[in-house]
Amino acid sequence: MTPYTVIVAATLRRNSFKHSHFRRRCLHSAIDYPLSHPIYTIWASNTSLGKTLVSAGLSISFLSPSSSPPFPKRRFIYLKPIQTGFPHDSDSAFLYRKFCQFYASKSLPFSVFASNSVFRASMPAANEVLGNGSVDDGGEVGCGLKNLHWYEERKLQGTECNGVEQFPVSEAVCKTLYAWKEAVSPHLAAEREGTMVSDSEVLDLLRRCLENDTVGTTEEVEVMTVIETAGGVASPGPSGSLQCDLYRPFRLPGILVGDGRLGGISGTISAYESLTLRGYDIAAVVFEDHGLMNEVPLLSYFRNRVPVLVLPSIPKDMSDDLISWFDKSQTVFTSLKEIMLSTFLERTKRLHEMPKKSCDAFWWPFTQHKLVSEEKVTVIDSRCGENFAVLKSSDMISEQFDACASWWTQGPDANLQIELAKDMGYTAARYGHVMFPENVYEPALKLAELLLEGVGKGNSILNSTGDREFGVNCS
């Protein structure tokens, strides 16, 4: 099948595409994030599979001391953009508590600082925290949301401090961006509590957090950020957009929390394919061991392209504080951390090498190559709708409008881009490559019929070479 035919087959289905039951929200928020440190999205193939346990384990592993001094200052940033069931169910509060409990049980030579904050909450969720009728200084921000300004912190004193810090203080920063009271899917919670939040609002607050959390950070501070999603890969966000579509403008590398239970192989692979179809890169898959050896068929499927890590079984006793489990799991979490760090370094190294390598390897049409320096080469990391994500300076991915807007690139917005990717994948998987002359297959015939009903109305011949006098040329 020619590339043109694949594109056309995808476009045919666009003709009958209608808005889904859920409301689509335009993504106009500028997307920028730093490349100065690793930032990962934590996904899961379903809800209640342990995303927050993985985030907590990573925080403990990342901030654990090296074997001997000097101990570098480190900062682990945990962001939960969407939280339901609040305040009784708060993932940022869970990570904050477990982090403090774990390090309170250890003898560390340096101090550790931990904080947890909640930015915005629906009125019912805010009343659960502040009490009915309470008014805070921030007031309402519209659409039934309140600036909650909830904050808690704790400092765990190091054994060698004696009132004076001998080593840098490492810290775990936990933040919830939007919270709803009812423990249901975010789109239902937002609707029932009268607090609809658009995709662009979620992305804008997330972008500001990513930007502000690194302000004033020096090269001596080692930083890692994780963004934990809500529910599964395709669970709706507050506007109804699937979360795999909601966070697509950032296209941050991800960790997929798979399912070690019966049926988990299929669910994990389906989640992985949903993400890769949208252009995400998955650095590793991790899941809890349920004794079914799900990692064996998963490793076979991934063909060693994606590491698969297995965590020990989680204690079923609800009174267990999980500290022993975190201790037992540290080998796995350390391996996961090293994978994330090495993947980040490989990605940034490749992005920084691309200008020079492209000047050595490419021939660009309509270009005086001797006048093109490495600094003038635009490094494109990805695209979402009409905007590229490009490398700016050496440590920032920024949004850049595609001003060239060729016949192919002009038109598809972020939502249609996903629809095209799905339809092109379907068409390529169904037909592979088809030589068109003297053959007929459904996409080509439907295209011919549509064109002859439109711009080619009155003609009876459709050709792909332009060699018939009255044909409609689609070469």
Locate the domains of the chain by residue range: 27-350
- pLDDT above 50 for 475: no
pLDDT of residue 411: 65
pLDDT of residue 187: 97
The pTM is what? 0.87
DSSP secondary structure letter of residue 242? B
Q: How far apart are CA 170 and CA 287, in angstroms?
A: 28
- The reply to whether omega before 365 is within 30° of 0 (cis) is no
pLDDT > 90: what percent of the chain? 60
Q: Is residue 3 very low, low, confident or very high in pLDDT (cuts 50, 70, 90)? A: very low
Q: Is residue 163 very low, low, confident or very high in pLDDT (cuts 50, 70, 90)? A: low
Q: How far apart are CA 388 and CA 398, in angstroms?
A: 8
Q: Is residue 405 very low, low, confident or very high in pLDDT (cuts 50, 70, 90)? A: low
Specify the range with the lowest mean pLDDT, choosing from 80-94, 141-155, 302-316, 404-418: 404-418
Quick: pLDDT tens for 421-465.
Answer: 998 899 899 998 888 788 898 888 888 888 888 876 776 655 554
Residues 6+ apart with CB under 8 A from 267: 45, 46, 258, 259
pLDDT of residue 164: 55
Indicate the average pLDDT of the chain: 86
92 three-state secondary structure: helix
Q: 437 vs 145, which has greater pLDDT?
A: 145
Q: Is residue 139 very low, low, confident or very high in pLDDT (cuts 50, 70, 90)? A: low
Output the CATH code of domain 27-350.
Answer: 3.40.50.300
DSSP secondary structure letter of residue 246? H
Specify the range with the lowest mean pLDDT, choosing from 165-174, 236-245, 288-297, 304-313: 165-174
Quick: pLDDT tens for 18-36.
Answer: 333 333 444 445 789 999 9
Specify the range with the lowest mean pLDDT, choosing from 84-98, 135-149, 219-233: 135-149
Contact (CB, 8 A) for 236 and 180: no
Q: Is residue 16 very low, low, confident or very high in pLDDT (cuts 50, 70, 90)? A: very low
Sheet holding 221-228, edge to edge: 140-142, 145-156, 112-122, 170-179, 73-83, 221-228, 39-44, 254-257, 282-288, 308-311
Quick: pLDDT tens for 244-253.
Answer: 999 999 999 9
pLDDT of residue 21: 35
Beta-bridge mates of residue 288: 311
